[in-house]
Amino acid sequence: MNAMSHCVSIIINRILLFVVILFLLIFWGDNNVLAKERILVLSPEGENFQYTIKGLKDDLEDDVTFVEHSITDNMGEDIITKHIHDINPKMLVFLGNKPLQAYSQYQKKYIGSDFPPSIALSALYLDRQVRDMKNIIGVRFEIPAVTSLVQLRSIIKRPIKKVGVIYREWMSDFIKQNQAYCLQESIQLMGIKISDKPSMRHLNYQLKHLLRKDIDALWVVNDNGLLQARYLQNVWIPLLKRFDKPVLVGIKALTKTSLNFGTFSVEADHYALGVQGAEMISDIMDNNWRIADHKIEQPLSISNLLNIKLINKKKIPLDLDKIGQIDQLIQ
């Protein structure tokens, strides 16, 4: 009887020990998850944004918890307020224009408050957008014209010395900066400035005037105000159908053959943007969650696309030996 009691006691003790170990493992695991700082990611829906988020998460998912929320066009700073209040994030990440604009409203509403460190990615003209915002850095989405034009120049058998561009008045500083960069490569960027709210008739007149100039290519800037659907359908596409020179765009969607619009596009690589953002987050984490250098970086990796079908239609001679340097081809 004593021997049996002893065996039962040993079994019970082992069961209790197992339960205690299991409890500790579960408790430690839960607290390990809870110990991770949370980063709030606000982004519009879309495949490209998901690639950027993947780039963010691939290297950091073991170190922090990413909490993602989609932002639609009709959402404002009240949604930002709710997410920040509910999640209490250590850091914020904004993808695209809409979340960043909503956060700008949030900062204006709570002016004087302490704002967590933030990173902005995939937003147009980031320097301008964050100029009056606090504790935020990011990566530009625009690729300098000179980068794209030098690539284009290397794959076609025509000189590119004069390049035309139409831009709205608010972009004047951006164009001047790009003109200076282009001059370093002996490329003259010939700009026509129009008002910030141009009529369709005025845009049509100025684009016709520009296309009649002695230019070797056209650079179309990423500007939603100039690339509205009605402007595309009634001005850009009809006029560019008769333009037999390369058209450089910053959005791959504009190089579709059916549009007869862009012949060559260069944009920031979406996944690489996320990786670059992750490196910035790591630096902020290492600096006790403080931004050390309030700067906007250039994208480190780009992706290009050439519409060979449209190039051939325009009878633009290609250097076939250089085609291998293009990431994507439309044939």
pLDDT digits (tens, 9 = 90+) for 70-84: 988 777 788 889 999
**pLDDT tens sequence across 126-179:** 999 999 999 999 999 999 999 999 999 999 999 999 999 999 999 999 999 999
CA distance 50 to 44: 9
- Percent helix, strand, coil in the chain, to 5, is 50, 20, 30
Residue type, 185: E
Q: What integer pLDDT is reported at residue 240 of this predicted model?
A: 94
CA distance 125 to 117: 20
pTM confidence score: 0.82
The ranges of the chain annotated as CATH 3.40.50.2300 are 34-142+269-301, 145-268+303-330
Cα–chain-centroid distance for residue 203? 27
CA distance 85 to 95: 20
* Of 4-18, 129-143, 252-266, 278-292, minimum mean pLDDT range: 4-18
The pLDDT of 289-305, averaged and rounded, is: 92
Name the token pair of 153: 């120049």
The pLDDT of 229-256, averaged and rounded, is: 94
Strands 264-268 and 302-307 come out as: antiparallel
Instruction: Round to the nearest angstrom and report the end-to-end CA distance of the chain.
Output: 88
Residue type, 39: I
CA distance 226 to 321: 35
CA 214-216-217 angle, 5° bins = 120
Question: Partners of 318 in the beta sheet?
Answer: 156
| CATH code for residues 145-268+303-330 | 3.40.50.2300
Query: Please, which pLDDT band fits residue 308 given cuts at 50, 70 and 90?
Result: very high
CA distance 218 to 167: 12
Name the token pair of 231: 């402007």
pLDDT at 29 over 60: no
Fold for 34-142+269-301, please state it. Answer: Rossmann fold (3.40.50)
Average confidence score pLDDT of the chain? 90
CA distance 260 to 252: 13
pLDDT at 23 over 60: no
